[in-house]
Structure formats: C-alpha cells, structure tokens
Structure 1
C-alpha cells in the first residue's frame, strides 16, 4: 500500500458508519421533518371530530384510520410528534443545567460539598424516579409543564454523577493549575474551560438519555399525568385508543405506540454511536 493510501485509510475508517445507525438516523430525520411540516402534511386538523367516521380502518380518506371520535390518526400522529419530541429536549435541558452544575461543583470543591451532593443524589436514586415525579404532579397538578420539570429533577442525579466523574479527571489537568497561577478564579475556570471541555461527552450522554426521557413522558401521559386532551401527544393517544382495542380496532393504540417504539429504538441506536464519537477526547 502506498503512502497516500496509508494516510487516507484511517480517515476512511473513521467516516464509516454502521448501516443500522444510518437507517435509524434517516428515520429520525424524517420524523423531525414530519413534525416541523405537520400543518402542511396532515390531511386534517388534529382536533377535527367526525363521529360518522368513528374507528374507520385504513383507506383513501384516512391512510391510518381514525379513532373512536373520528379523528384522523395520521394527522394526530404528525402533530403529536411535535410535543413528543420537544418535551424530552426541554426535560433534558432542565436536567443538564442542574446536573452539570451539581457535578462540576462537587468535583471542583470536593470535601463536604462533594459529600453533600453525593448523598443527595444517592437519596434521589433510592427513590423511584416515576414515583418521585407522580408525587410532584400530585402537589402541583397534572400537565406537560409539570411533567417536564418533575422528570427533569428525576434525571438530574444521573447527569450529576456522570458529570462529576468527568470533572474529577478534568480538574486535575495541567491547564487548570496554569489558570490558577494566572489568578483566574475557580468559577471562571469552570465556566470558561472545564464545562466546555466536558460538553461533548455530556451531549453524547444526553442523546442516549433522549429515548428514556421520551418513554417516561409518554408513560406519564398514558397514566393521565402528562399531556391532557385535546392534545395529540403519543402517550395520550395510546391511552385514548386503549378502549377501542376491546372493540377490535387496534390502530388507535397501535399507531402512536409504534411511533413511540420506533423513535425510542432509533434514538438508542444513534445515541450509543453518538456517545462513543462525542465521548472521545
């Protein structure tokens, strides 16, 4: 093999992506585009009720059928993709802000601060996340906003522990001592240098958590704690379509349930690959 070929071989290997990751990524891109252009793609408004078309199967007028209220399932699924995709992003944003702050603070200060943060996250770990979320919802009321904030708090310990493990090794690097010698304060070093250096690894970890966040929010909506009618959230659609299964109509529950499953699996596939790539320093 010639020298140029040897030089190009490693970059070619780095660019190679598994077929499964490419398929999952393409599917997620289609889902995102469908959510963005839902008003243009949906054949009906998501809240249009037509009792004369109740539980209609697939056909020319309704490609994926209708629910018990005669609402077009394709239209509801397209519009529901917006809530089902945006809410997990907001949830993880809340958890990331709190978790990264606590993790970096614990690693930087050490001592009793590290012990306090560790004990706090251990206590939250010992408490089931879903039960913790339901208790918060019981106090502040059901709704998507409450669910996002409650689950954001529930995801915080996971991100805090992960960030702490990264920040411990980052804080020992020579450049930190160099900035200290120059008189730079700890808060400024963390905000300007430590946190940005951890961003790639943390972002990869958040991608992995996205599927779990989506599933958790869908579970809350299914239980009646998350999105409320007339929302087209996928979890709520599964709950509303459950009664139709008894009547032999599977589509009202199967369409949103399949959408949730495919998106979660796709994000897990892409997330593991992205975490591996982004985690490389």
Structure 2
C-alpha cells in the first residue's frame, strides 16, 4: 500500500501488520516444535516411568499436569508425544503431495483422454469416504503407524491432485510455456524445471492448511487402535488410554493430550490460511 506526501509526489510504502491471531498461533507452534525437539532436556520425568503410588494424581509440583493410571507424568508424555504427532503428518503430506502433484500435473499437461481418465479416478477416490478407505487398507495390510501414514497419504492424494490440476491448467496457458516449447524443450522438462516450481508456493500453502487435518486424522486412527500402539507415545493414543480414567473422575489423562491436539490443529489452521493467502498472491 502506498501513500503520497504533501508537496512532493514521493511514494511511501507502508508494511501491513500481521494479524495478532496469526502471530500468536505462529509463536505457539514454534514453541511446540522447540518443546518437542528439546523434550529430553525439559521433560521433568522419563515418559515411561511408572509410579503406581501417584496413579491419577492431580496437578502437583512434581507433576504439573497430573499423571495417568500408571502414574506416568502427563507433561513428559505430551512433550515426547509431540514428536510423533508432528512428524507423522509431515510424512503423510509428503507422500500425498508426491502422488497428488504428479497426477494433477500430468492430467493438466497432457489433457484429452489422459486428463479425463485421471480426473475420473480422482473423482471416484475423492467421493469415497476417506476414513473408510483407510480402515479398508489397514484391514488388508495390518495396523501400525506406517500403514496409517500410507493409507492416509493415498486418501489425501486426490484432493491435492485436483487442486494441483486447477493451478497447472492456468499456469500452462501462460506465454513462457509456449516459449519453452518453441525452444524444443520436452514437456517433462518444462513441468519439472518450470511449471511445478512456479506452483510450489500455492501448493505449500495448501499443504500447511492440510497439516492440521492430517494430524487430527492420525490421532483419530491412534485413538481407534489402528495407528500408533503401546509402548509408543502419541497424543491420540494417550486420549484412548486416558478415557477409562474419566469414569473414575480423573479428566486430565484424556484432557491434556486432547487439548494439545485441539490447540495445535487450530493454530495450524490459522497459520495455514495466512500462509496460503500470502503464497497464493505471490503467484
């Protein structure tokens, strides 16, 4: 945005301020990442240390967020659980992006029957309930974190493919594409070296928005018993393990990891929308 000073037509550029919610959400996410990386240094207890004498203890000086049924410190487990809870969605989105961007780019570039075929395939996969598809994959190949990541990656790929195709169709019509074709450059080389890199900003912004959804999906699978299993530490698994304590009047074992999931998902949604808008304008 520019303004004009009185007496002289000198443009003065004013930097737009970042919205306060975005700054708060970004700072919170940075704090979560630092806490996950430094978990061995800042966790007050070992995450698997059992102390039955402190079973379902409330907040104390030794256990700031209380303990679970086994007397394990919830703060320590949340810090360690942040590692898998943040890394798994990254792997999920990396796989989904690899498949989705490839399918969307090929469909937009080739057009014709190739575009029609790939579009119909992605439409069918997109219309199929994602969670049901994941459960079917897990039923065939067995449960576990790796299977969950692969299954969700396949489920998310059609969404990214459709988004990439819409971007690639608009990018393909720009003059520089024809210029490279006239120079004799192959379609694959144009896509890899020029078209896809020019779409990278918008795609990355979209992936940031999807990160929170991916984290929630993986936590849901762990809660249902299809994802991470004991003795691994995962926020979704912690909620599942803490639900029995709710009947006994102890809310913290389920509330603490549940609140962590909700806070991180909301923060990623806020930051993701902002990043998507900024990178989208950059195109």
What are the ranges of 5 or more consecutive residues in structure 2 without an aligned counterpart?
none
1:19 deviates by 0.3
> What aligned pairs does 1:1-281 form with structure 2 within 5 A after superposition?
1-2=4-5, 6-9=11-14, 12-13=15-16, 16-280=17-281, 281=283
Q: Deviations over 1:186-234 (max 9, x none)?
A: 0000000000000000000000101100000000000000000012100
Relative distance call for 1:53 and 1:114 in structure 2 (3 A) is same
1:7 deviates by 2.2
Once residues 125 and 170 of structure 1 are traced to their aligned partners in structure 2, the CA distance between those partners, rounded to angstroms, is: 24
Task: Give the paired residue count.
Answer: 277
2:184 aligned counterpart, secondary structure: coil
List, as ranges, runs of 4+ consecutive aligned residues in structure 1 with deviation greater than 4 Å. none
1:51 deviates by 1.2
Once residues 49 and 142 of structure 1 are traced to their aligned partners in structure 2, the CA distance between those partners, rounded to angstroms, is: 27
1:125 deviates by 1.4
Q: Deviations over 1:128-153 (max 9, x none)?
A: 00010011011111111110110000
Q: Deviations over 1:14-43 (max 9, x none)?
A: xx1000000000000000000000010111
Relative distance call for 1:178 and 1:73 in structure 2 (3 A) is same
Q: Deviations over 1:146-199 (max 9, x none)?
A: 101100000000000000000001111111111111110000000000000000
Once residues 94 and 106 of structure 2 are traced to their aligned partners in structure 1, the CA distance between those partners, rounded to angstroms, is: 18
Once residues 202 and 232 of structure 2 are traced to their aligned partners in structure 1, the CA distance between those partners, rounded to angstroms, is: 35
Once residues 202 and 126 of structure 1 are traced to their aligned partners in structure 2, the CA distance between those partners, rounded to angstroms, is: 22
Once residues 266 and 157 of structure 2 are traced to their aligned partners in structure 1, the CA distance between those partners, rounded to angstroms, is: 23
Deviating more after overlay: 135-144 vs 244-253: 135-144
Once residues 247 and 190 of structure 1 are traced to their aligned partners in structure 2, the CA distance between those partners, rounded to angstroms, is: 59
Once residues 112 and 172 of structure 2 are traced to their aligned partners in structure 1, the CA distance between those partners, rounded to angstroms, is: 15
1:6 deviates by 3.3
Q: Deviations over 1:64-123 (max 9, x none)?
A: 010001110000000000000010011000000000000000000001110111111111
1:4 deviates by 8.2
What are the ranges of 5 or more consecutive residues in structure 1 without an aligned counterpart?
none
TM-score (norm 2): 0.96
